[in-house]
A and B are shown apart, each in its own frame.
Chain A
Amino acid sequence: MRKVGTALGCLLILLWCLLPVAWIVSLSFKSQTAITNGSPGFLPASGDSAGWQNYKDVLDNEQFRRAIFNSIGISLIATALSVIIATLAAYAIARLEFKGKKFVLTTALVIAMFPVVSLVGPLFDMWRAFGLYDTWPGLIIPYMSFTLPLAIWTLSAFFREIPWEMEQAAQVDGATSWQAFRKVIVPLAAPGVFTAAILTFFFAWNDFVFGISLTSTERARPIPAALSFFVGADPFNRPASLLAAGAVVSTIPIIIIVLIFPAQDRRRPHLRRSEGLSRGFHRDEEHRQEVR
């Protein structure tokens, strides 16, 4: 009885997660005429399928290509820089005693709660004065500072779990301190850094408010903003199937990351704690499973 319930629950979760994705993929293969004729149903009808035409049109669109390029570049740079800075801070928070530690953690928490829109006005004004408006750094800087809190909290929770004595043990065994750090601590810390990087990338790739407010041309406009401006004047006559194809294309990097994530996790079975976004809390659960 219980097993049936759990299986049913799993099915519901999968349906919940994948149904809208299946719908947008299906929409992306419909022809524009099928859509304007009205109510074409969930799946593309056999005669009305557009094949890969929508995808070809999207990838041929200069604005769209540029937006993807912007998004990839901006998100990757913001992720790399944010993770480096967060790693330094998290290491200090987890391992050192120093004045101002509480201040850092509180600031990070307050910023995590910050309504992004309330900063857009003054940033718009400031970035225009500094020449950062409509440039890559103009988006990278806000993305970095808004992902730092989550990255710092995730990483410092992770670093606290690392048995730092192992570093000394390796040194006793004859390794230099650099070797000890590289061979022992870096592999242990890597999954945590990876988790923080994913969260940062998700944020940067997802951002919309900064994307539409701090850019005005194709120079720096990221993909979510480009998609929303692809709409045209009449919100009720959007090129639905074309937009759906664009939406699917913009989701591919996320799918790749989501698929790499558990693989990365499985490679380090001794650090299963990095599983899921809620890692750091799983210790009890795993302990229980080991006991079983």
Chain B
Amino acid sequence: MTTLAEAPQRRQEREVHVSDRAKAETRLGQRLVAPAIILMLVVTAFPMLRALYLSLFNYSLTAPEDRDFVGLSNYLTALTDPLFWKTTGVTVLYMVVTVSIELVIGFAFAMVMHRVIFARGVIRTSILIPYGIITVVSGFAWQFAFSFQNGFINNWLPFIDSDFNWFGQTTPAVIAICVSEIWKTTPFMSLLLLAGLAQVSEDMIEAAKVDGATWWQRLWRVILPNMRAAIMVAVLFRALDAYRIFDNIFVMTAGAVNTESISFLTYRQTIEQFQLGIGSALSVLLFLSVLVIAGLIVKVFRVDLAAARQEG
């Protein structure tokens, strides 16, 4: 009798005890993450809100007294200026070209690294080098390589004149910038893809082989569909990164011959010309376009997923 009467009471005690523990755990958890969250918000959320606010003013650091509220007119100025659309177009071009080439080369590299058993360490160590090198340094390396004065590319490419100036026109200059960007970030892409490749079950590939699937069929029907998540993460990260391209352009052309990206335009307005009002409007637009790109990529891959399911 007594044990029966005591049982519910004890359970209740335990519940109280558990919820006390849960509360303490919540408190401890929140205390432990507090420094990180505060720091992240101070440097991003607060300045972003400030940019949103400043973008509504005509505000130049060279004439701070003349700051006055202009509403959305900075956005109107930016969005009706052909320069804005030209730089956005070039930026999208950089992003599409570099990410698609990197996806192909990075996947090939990942396949090789996945198969390699000997010299694994050497390959993985050397692939960290382009990733670790300062972008400014790789920009210089490629700029000098393409230069007709001190480079070797003109000599190595048989169909190019030895005095061809890569940085004199838009298209060759964009190609040179893309080469530098692709060299630098393909290793990052291939490391992400390697991680995805490692998750594809070897048994499934073997089964497809037994069923007589060719190498090409195995790649398209088994390996790639099973890597979709990894590919999406790689494309998402690289695309957002490529969209904010800045360092290479700064070093290689300084924005000359229409190679300026949207990040470069924003930098030039705020830091070089002290136009904080219009610069903030550009900052906000840049942030919004990054969100749109992220949304689009996630959506595209989801559609792809559904299509693949119907196919299967």
A9 touching B263 in the complex, CB below 8 Å, given contacts A97-B29, A114-B44: no
Contact with B along A267-292 (1 / 0, CB 8 A): 00000000111101110110010000
Partner of A121 from B33, B136, B283 at Cβ < 8 Å: B283
* Residue contact A117 to B246, C-beta cutoff 8 Å: yes
* Residue contact A96 to B28, C-beta cutoff 8 Å: yes
Contact-residue bracket for chain B: 35 or more
* Residue contact B125 to A115, C-beta cutoff 8 Å: no
* Residue contact B140 to A20, C-beta cutoff 8 Å: no
Task: Write out the residue numbers on chain A whose beta carbons fall within 8 Å of the beta carbon of B127.
Answer: 13, 17
A121 touching B130 in the complex, CB below 8 Å, given contacts A16-B186, A93-B33, A97-B29: no
Q: Is B198 an interface residue (CB 8 A)?
A: yes
A123 touching B30 in the complex, CB below 8 Å, given contacts A41-B152, A227-B136, A258-B125: no
* Residue contact A41 to B155, C-beta cutoff 8 Å: yes
* Residue contact A27 to B186, C-beta cutoff 8 Å: no
How many angstroms between the C-alpha atoms of A198 and B44 in the bound complex?
23
* Residue contact A121 to B271, C-beta cutoff 8 Å: yes
* Complex: chain A residue closest to B49, CB-CB: A122
- A158-196 contacts to B (CB < 8 Å): none
How many angstroms between the C-alpha atoms of A261 and B141 in the bound complex?
25
Q: Is A45 an interface residue (CB 8 A)?
A: no
| Main SS class of interface, A | helix
Among listed A49-57, A58-66, A143-151, interface-contacting one? A143-151
Q: Whole-angstrom distance from the CB of B185 to the nearest CB of chain A? A: 12
Task: Write out the residue numbers on chain A whose beta carbons fall within 8 Å of the beta carbon of B78.
Answer: none
Q: Is B111 an interface residue (CB 8 A)?
A: yes
* Residue contact A98 to B28, C-beta cutoff 8 Å: yes
Q: Is B51 an interface residue (CB 8 A)?
A: yes
Among listed B4-12, B68-76, B116-124, interface-contacting one? B116-124
- B26-84 contacts to A (CB < 8 Å): 26-30, 32-33, 35-37, 39-44, 46-48, 50-51, 54, 61
Partner of A35 from B29, B108, B150 at Cβ < 8 Å: B150
Among listed B216-224, B284-292, B303-311, interface-contacting one? B284-292
How many angstroms between the C-alpha atoms of A86 and B37 in the bound complex?
10
* Residue contact B131 to A202, C-beta cutoff 8 Å: yes
Which among A42, A111, A208 has the highest number of chain B CB atoms within 10 Å? A208
* Residue contact B137 to A119, C-beta cutoff 8 Å: no
Q: Which residues of B line the A interface, CB within 8 A?
A: 22, 25-30, 32-33, 35-37, 39-44, 46-48, 50-51, 54, 61, 108-109, 111-116, 119, 121-138, 140-142, 144-145, 147-152, 154-155, 162, 167, 183, 186-188, 191-192, 194-196, 198-199, 201-202, 240, 243-244, 246-247, 250-251, 253-254, 256, 263, 266-267, 269-271, 276, 279-280, 282-284, 286-287, 290-291, 294
How many angstroms between the C-alpha atoms of A288 and B106 in the bound complex?
23
Which among A98, A122, A142, A247 has the highest number of chain B CB atoms within 10 Å? A122
Task: Write out the residue numbers on chain B whose beta carbons fall within 8 Å of the beta carbon of A116.
Answer: 244, 246, 263
Task: Write out the residue numbers on chain A whose beta carbons fall within 8 Å of the beta carbon of B183.
Answer: 16, 20
How many angstroms between the C-alpha atoms of A113 and B30 in the bound complex?
24
* Residue contact A227 to B287, C-beta cutoff 8 Å: no
Q: Is A243 an interface residue (CB 8 A)?
A: yes
* Residue contact B186 to A126, C-beta cutoff 8 Å: no
Number of A interface residues in the complex (CB < 8 A): 99
| Main SS class of interface, B | helix
Partner of A101 from B29, B133, B151, B270 at Cβ < 8 Å: B29
Q: Is A46 an interface residue (CB 8 A)?
A: no
* Residue contact A281 to B294, C-beta cutoff 8 Å: no
* Residue contact A18 to B36, C-beta cutoff 8 Å: no
Q: Whole-angstrom distance from the CB of B139 to the nearest CB of chain A? A: 8
Q: Which residues of A line the B interface, CB within 8 A?
A: 2, 6, 9-10, 12-14, 16-18, 20-21, 23-24, 27, 30, 35-36, 38-42, 85-86, 88-89, 91-93, 96-101, 103-104, 107-108, 111, 113-126, 141-142, 144-146, 148-149, 152, 202, 205-206, 208-209, 212-213, 223-224, 227-228, 235-236, 240, 243-244, 247, 250-251, 254-255, 257-259, 261-262, 275-278, 280-282, 284-285, 288
How many angstroms between the C-alpha atoms of A224 and B133 in the bound complex?
11
* Residue contact B129 to A255, C-beta cutoff 8 Å: yes
Task: Write out the residue numbers on chain B whose beta carbons fall within 8 Å of the beta carbon of A114.
Answer: 44, 287, 290
* Residue contact B29 to A96, C-beta cutoff 8 Å: yes
* Complex: chain B residue closest to A259, CB-CB: B125
A88 touching B36 in the complex, CB below 8 Å, given contacts A114-B44, A208-B135: yes
Q: Whole-angstrom distance from the CB of B304 to the nearest CB of chain A? A: 21
A126 touching B50 in the complex, CB below 8 Å, given contacts A97-B22, A144-B39, A276-B194: yes
* Residue contact B141 to A20, C-beta cutoff 8 Å: yes
A118 touching B287 in the complex, CB below 8 Å, given contacts A208-B250, A255-B129: yes
